[in-house]
A and B are shown apart, each in its own frame.
Chain A
Amino acid sequence: MPKPDLQELPSTAASPAPTPRDTTRRAPGKRHPDSLKGTLLKVVLLGLVDAFAVYVLMMLFLSQSWAALAVSAVVVLAINWIYLRKGGLPAKYLAPGVLFLLVFQVLVVVFSGYIAFTNYGDGHNSTKEDAISAIQLTAQKRVPDSLAYKASVLTKGNDFYLLFTDPSGKAQIGSTEQPLSEATAAGKDSTGKATSLPGYQTLKFQEIVANQQEILKITVPVSGDPADGTLRTADGSTAYQFKPALDYDAATDTFKDTETGTEYRDNGKGAFADANGETLATGWKIDVGMDNFTRAFTDPSLRGPLLGVIIWTFTFSIASVALTFVMGLFLAITFNREDLRGKKAYRILMILPYAFPAFLSGLVWSGILNPEFGWLNQTLLGGANIGWLTDPVLAKISVLVVNVWLGFPYMFLVCTGALQSLPSEIDEAARMDGASAWRVFRSIKLPLLLVSVAPLLISSFAFNFNNFNVIYMLTGGGPRFADTDRDIGSTDILITLVYKVAFGQGTGRDYGLASALAIIIFIIVATISAISFKQTKALEDVN
């Protein structure tokens, strides 16, 4: 659909002398005026973008994220400048894509680099102040002989509230997010217990039973200060006061256990620790320098497995490229005959694995290869119990076979294309000179083929280096290494390890270590691509 011009023409050397027809619309030598429709469209679009930007800036202002506010303001100004000024046409076409590229590809990599030097992760995800109040809130003990409050459970929207009646008959309401406040409008039953409040729904007994888990979690702060303690209920009808079991002393920056008297001090590693080095579960985020990297290569529970993973990552990606290429090339040669019957049918059937979604292939194969119930053991091998996915060596072979299944059609297509583009005279000339078919292939066709296919082999290597789906869907990285308590296994490659360290179940999330591993992958990939780009001279094509 042709659109009216949003901008005027670029003042390139190619702009022609105005024709007589043109002069009726504009004065000679002057620039193309913006048409009304184009200007209008531009103003509307830019206005929408700016309206959204103002909303974002306001939200950032309210949440007091000054750095983000400053950066966003600069970006908004830059966008307006690009689209409102005369000229600068390339920027107008490049800006949207580049903006996304900068934020979600470049910025996030820089951000990974920063996280790699922190202890960001479970138990270390906020500031020290947040950690102190979180410790006070979570380490709670029931105050001995505390008053028993009568409690009712109310809801408003999706949130649960507790309505308390203290022994003197005063009604107060609160929730986990909202500290206790007086509820004078509360309706009371015959025993004097407050049971309802306008605007809230009172839960019946069955509903309390059904929502037991959520109700147990409600901890109503007595006031805005966490040191004052909280109110909780165990049964939905009586509540008791709880106070922090750990007392924070701001002057000495220490926590003191109210029962045992143990003192916990800031250990300089983002946590409070006692004299024996025992730390409290909640810590805060600090910069740890190279700690994550040194830990990766010195921590005994990480060093061995990580080395194994790095070696396997290389083995896996090189073997995958080599095997798929050899198989693809062999098939391409086999079917490079015009007069072969059924050639089309073979071709379609053979590229089916490539069309099948990659994440599903791993899952489907995991069913076929399942040691206990899988088709291969049960049906083909008559009830054998071979650990296709549970034996360290067999699991690696299985992963490779599945990856070959996924990848050979691509290489088949690529090699077929490359073979057909080779001039046929070469073949004839060599045959005339008495070369055998094998000799023609080895000395003439293969070198020529490699020249055109080499860049694809390199990008295939880079792809397999981070081929998350096959590994994660087929084996999940398993079988696990025996010499570590971490979730690392013999078929894990670096990227699945990053994912498991950052988001895995069981062991806590450790974003710092995961980012450090990602940075290692980054460096490896960058080195390899730098070398390969030099070799293939791909860059020379860019003029």
Chain B
Amino acid sequence: MSVRTLTRGKETASDGVHPPLAPKRRPFGVWFRDKGWRHVVGILTTIFAVFPLLYVLSAALDSNGTLVGSNGLFSRFDAGNFVALFSDPSRPFGRWFVNTLVVGLVTSAATVFLGAMAAYAFSRMRFKGRRMGLLTLLLLQMFPQLLAVVAIFLLLSGISQVIPALGLGSQLGLIMVYLGGALGVNTYLMYGFFNTVPQSLDEAAKIDGASHVQIFFGIILRLVTPILAVVGLLAFIGISSEFVIASVVLTDPDSQTLAVGLYSYVAQQRSENWGVFAAGAVIAAIPVMALFLFLQKYIVSGLTAGSVKG
């Protein structure tokens, strides 16, 4: 305490000489109680947050390959795991990556489109059952599709007996299943955003003779691009992580997605394939993480508006 009083006195004394421009260095105790502890918390949390990511990166770069071998962090650097990753015909990592991109992009694009159409109807039109429809969507999104995974599996196996291209083992079938969740939270999110676009714009366009289709594509969709990006991105991230339904529907290794394929790498012998798995994990994670960080601001606004990852 005495130290603090002393310095304070000093500071006041020097105030006359140096106007408030440069506050003098405060003693450690004061700095620590005000800000320093925040840095301690920050550093500890950062270590907790980042360590597993560094660990997997180090394992990926160390072609030693096993779980034990990966314990010396960053003790070796080579690309052996990445070479092994792309050269195993029974585990076609390249195909998985492409499959994930295809399923993810098609589904998220269709999700955005279906959701936007529904949100347009809810936001701009007044019809019987509108309120009920919105409430139903809000309630339905409490029940994730994976709860009905057994029924989805049996339904698809029934479909494959009639139209094999849409049934079990087909990515098209999987995309259809995912589109069942296209409305739900997305529509609600978009509905809120659509409401912020002033109605007077549509009306002005209408007076000029624009049709509802022209208003939808030409005016509304252009003004709500941020929310379209958020919904598309969240859908893409969610689907690229989806394991339960994909693992049940996609049985053939060539048609699997990253989540299913990478799990099969470590499902049986976790320790032998560790290095190659880590390499696959790094490649699988980089695009998603890059997208996430790049569009962080949009996502955060979307999150706080009520969606949960997954």
Interface residues of A (CB under 8 A from B): 1-10, 12, 14-16, 19, 21-22, 25, 32, 38, 55-56, 59-60, 63, 65, 68, 89-90, 93-94, 96-98, 100-101, 103-109, 111-112, 115, 120, 330-331, 334-335, 337, 340-342, 346, 348-361, 363-368, 370, 372-375, 378-379, 405, 409-410, 413-414, 417-418, 455-456, 459-460, 462-463, 466-469, 472-473, 495, 498-499, 502-503, 511, 514-515, 518, 521-522, 525-526, 529, 533, 538-539, 542-543
Number of interface residues of B (CB under 8 A): 110
Please state if B271 and A370 are interface contacts (CB–CB under 8 Å). Answer: yes
Shortest distance from the beta carbon of B254 to any chain A beta carbon, whole Å = 15
Please state if A522 and B49 are interface contacts (CB–CB under 8 Å). Answer: no
Q: How far is the CA of A358 from the CA of B158 in the complex (A)?
A: 31
Please state if A499 and B143 are interface contacts (CB–CB under 8 Å). Answer: no
Q: Can you name 29 A-B residue pairings with CB atoms under 8 Å? A: A4-B214, A5-B214, A7-B212, A10-B212, A25-B209, A38-B213, A90-B127, A96-B117, A100-B179, A101-B180, A104-B179, A108-B151, A108-B180, A334-B38, A334-B41, A337-B38, A349-B50, A352-B289, A355-B292, A363-B263, A363-B277, A363-B281, A373-B71, A375-B55, A378-B68, A417-B304, A462-B308, A525-B147, A526-B143
Q: A15-B206, A355-B289 are in contact. Are A366 and B308 (CB under 8 A)?
A: no
B84 at the interface (CB under 8 A from A): no
Partner of A364, one of B55, B131, B209, B211: B55
Q: A14-B206, A89-B125, A111-B154 are in contact. Are A2 and B49 (CB under 8 A)?
A: no
Interface residues of B (CB under 8 A from A): 35, 37-39, 41-42, 45-46, 48-50, 52-53, 55-56, 59, 66-68, 70-73, 114-115, 117-118, 120-121, 125-127, 130-131, 133-135, 138-140, 142-155, 158, 161-163, 176-177, 179-184, 187, 203, 206-207, 209, 211-214, 216-218, 237, 240-241, 243-244, 247-248, 259, 262-263, 266, 270-271, 274, 277-278, 281, 284-285, 288-289, 292-293, 296, 300, 303-304, 306-310
Interface centre among A341, A346, A495 (most CB of B within 10 A): A346
Shortest distance from the beta carbon of B133 to any chain A beta carbon, whole Å = 8
Q: How far is the CA of A498 from the CA of B300 in the complex (A)?
A: 33
Partner of B150, one of A14, A498, A525: A498
Residues of chain A contacted by B179 (CB below 8 angstroms): 97, 100, 104
Please state if B147 and A112 are interface contacts (CB–CB under 8 Å). Answer: yes
Q: A32-B211, A104-B180, A355-B292 are in contact. Are A97 and B114 (CB under 8 A)?
A: yes
- The interface residues of chain A, by DSSP majority, are classed as helix
Please state if B49 and A350 are interface contacts (CB–CB under 8 Å). Answer: yes
Residues of chain A contacted by B309 (CB below 8 angstroms): 354, 358, 410, 463
Q: Which residue of B lies closest to A513 (CB)?
A: B150
Q: Which residue of A lies closest to B35 (CB)?
A: A340
Shortest distance from the beta carbon of B180 to any chain A beta carbon, whole Å = 2
Please state if B135 and A502 are interface contacts (CB–CB under 8 Å). Answer: no
Partner of B39, one of A120, A342, A456: A342
In the complex, besides A63-B161, A334-B38, A360-B284, 14 extra interface pairs with C-beta distance below 8 angstroms are: A10-B125, A21-B209, A90-B130, A109-B147, A112-B148, A112-B150, A350-B45, A355-B292, A359-B241, A363-B281, A373-B67, A374-B67, A417-B300, A518-B149
Shortest distance from the beta carbon of B274 to any chain A beta carbon, whole Å = 6
Please state if B147 and A522 are interface contacts (CB–CB under 8 Å). Answer: yes
Please state if A97 and B118 are interface contacts (CB–CB under 8 Å). Answer: yes
Q: A334-B42, A340-B35, A378-B71 are in contact. Are A105 and B206 (CB under 8 A)?
A: no
Please state if B300 and A473 are interface contacts (CB–CB under 8 Å). Answer: no
Q: A16-B206, A456-B306, A502-B153 are in contact. Are A367 and B270 (CB under 8 A)?
A: yes
Partner of B140, one of A105, A331, A350: A105
The 6 closest A-B pairs by CB, nearest first: A104-B180, A5-B211, A355-B292, A97-B114, A93-B121, A111-B151
Q: A98-B183, A405-B52 are in contact. Are A350 and B46 (CB under 8 A)?
A: yes
Q: How far is the CA of A511 from the CA of B126 in the complex (A)?
A: 43
Q: How far is the CA of A108 from the CA of B143 in the complex (A)?
A: 12
Q: Which residue of A lies closest to B39 (CB)?
A: A342
Q: How far is the CA of A460 from the CA of B310 in the complex (A)?
A: 10
Please state if B138 and A538 are interface contacts (CB–CB under 8 Å). Answer: yes
Please state if A357 and B130 are interface contacts (CB–CB under 8 Å). Answer: no
Partner of A542, one of B35, B138, B308: B138
Residues of chain A contacted by B153 (CB below 8 angstroms): 502-503
Please state if A473 and B67 are interface contacts (CB–CB under 8 Å). Answer: no
Q: A60-B162, A105-B180 are in contact. Are A335 and B212 (CB under 8 A)?
A: no
Partner of B42, one of A10, A335, A538: A335
Please state if A363 and B266 are interface contacts (CB–CB under 8 Å). Answer: yes
Please state if B244 and A109 are interface contacts (CB–CB under 8 Å). Answer: no
Residues of chain A contacted by B142 (CB below 8 angstroms): 459, 462, 525-526, 529
Shortest distance from the beta carbon of A375 to any chain B beta carbon, whole Å = 5
Shortest distance from the beta carbon of B268 to any chain A beta carbon, whole Å = 10
Please state if A112 and B211 are interface contacts (CB–CB under 8 Å). Answer: no
Residues of chain A contacted by B143 (CB below 8 angstroms): 105, 109, 522, 525-526
Residues of chain B contacted by A533 (CB below 8 angstroms): 139
Q: How far is the CA of A348 from the CA of B214 in the complex (A)?
A: 41
Q: Which residue of B lies closest to A494 (CB)?
A: B147
Shortest distance from the beta carbon of B209 to any chain A beta carbon, whole Å = 6
Residues of chain A contacted by B176 (CB below 8 angstroms): 100, 103-104
Q: Which residue of A lies closest to B214 (CB)?
A: A2
Q: A355-B289, A463-B310 are in contact. Are A468 and B284 (CB under 8 A)?
A: no
Q: How far is the CA of A318 from the CA of B281 in the complex (A)?
A: 30
Q: Which residue of A lies closest to B188 (CB)?
A: A542
Residues of chain B contacted by A111 (CB below 8 angstroms): 148, 151, 154-155
Q: A373-B271, A375-B55 are in contact. Are A472 and B162 (CB under 8 A)?
A: no
Please state if A8 and B285 are interface contacts (CB–CB under 8 Å). Answer: no
Interface centre among A3, A101, A353 (most CB of B within 10 A): A101
Please state if B243 and A349 are interface contacts (CB–CB under 8 Å). Answer: no
Q: How far is the CA of A25 from the CA of B133 in the complex (A)?
A: 37
Partner of A93, one of B117, B126, B303: B117
Please state if B183 and A101 are interface contacts (CB–CB under 8 Å). Answer: yes
Please state if B187 and A97 are interface contacts (CB–CB under 8 Å). Answer: yes
Q: A16-B207, A97-B114 are in contact. Are A529 and B148 (CB under 8 A)?
A: no
Residues of chain A contacted by B56 (CB below 8 angstroms): 360, 364, 367
Residues of chain B contacted by A55 (CB below 8 angstroms): 163
Please state if B127 and A409 are interface contacts (CB–CB under 8 Å). Answer: no
Residues of chain A contacted by B271 (CB below 8 angstroms): 370, 372-373
Please state if A97 and B182 are interface contacts (CB–CB under 8 Å). Answer: yes
Q: How far is the CA of A469 from the CA of B67 in the complex (A)?
A: 21
Please state if B162 and A65 are interface contacts (CB–CB under 8 Å). Answer: yes
Interface centre among A94, A521, A533 (most CB of B within 10 A): A94
Please state if B140 and A101 are interface contacts (CB–CB under 8 Å). Answer: yes
Please state if B59 and A410 are interface contacts (CB–CB under 8 Å). Answer: no
Residues of chain A contacted by B55 (CB below 8 angstroms): 364, 367-368, 375
Please state if A410 and B206 are interface contacts (CB–CB under 8 Å). Answer: no
Q: How far is the CA of A105 from the CA of B93 in the complex (A)?
A: 31
Residues of chain A contacted by B240 (CB below 8 angstroms): 357
Q: A334-B42, A363-B266, A456-B308 are in contact. Are A468 and B146 (CB under 8 A)?
A: yes
Q: Which residue of B lies closest to A415 (CB)?
A: B304
Residues of chain A contacted by B163 (CB below 8 angstroms): 55-56, 59
Q: How far is the CA of A515 from the CA of B216 in the complex (A)?
A: 41
